[in-house]
Amino acid sequence: MTAAAAAAVAPDKAAFSQRIVALEAAADWIGLAMAFEAAPAGLRTHRSILAYVYAAVALGDAGRIEQATLIAVKTRLSRRDRVVAARRLAGAGHGTPALATLIADPDIFRDDGVLTPLGPTLRLVQGALTDQVLKTALQTVWRRFAN
């Protein structure tokens, strides 16, 4: 993208971000989901992706939850944002999407002092999983890093 093209997108990105924040504040989940889905990928920010995850979960729409998970998985989110998205998914009982969101970052289990706060998230995800093999795998990984 050229500098001129980037400059032209910037106001649109700011307006899009403001719109997403306003829709989220109003708990207009269907409006937020529709605005996010209609926006070009170049306008999407990490904040809007998290808002889309929240909207998909709030709506309970399986297709949107899958789409939000795929977007979160494919986006290079910060560890914090990835954990926030996973917590929202797991808290609503979507264990597999939550686990997928977490493990999309190979450094998610990196021991740099951030691991301990990840513990409650891992327990939440584990509790939301229905697949016993995935539950056991997550428990095993957590034990290896916790010891």
Mean local confidence (pLDDT), 9-36? 90
SS3 content of the chain, % helix, strand, coil (to 5): 80, 0, 20
Q: What stretches of 24-139 adopt beta strand conformation (E)?
A: none
What angle separates helix 46-59 from helix 62-74, to the nearest 10 degrees? 160
Q: 80-137 pLDDT, tens per residue?
A: 899 999 999 999 999 999 999 999 988 887 766 655 567 788 888 999 999 999 999 8
Query: For the purposes of burial, counting CB atoms within 10 Å of the CB of 32, is it exposed (0-12), middle (13-18) or buried (19 or more)?
Result: buried
Residue 3 has pLDDT above 50, yes or no: no
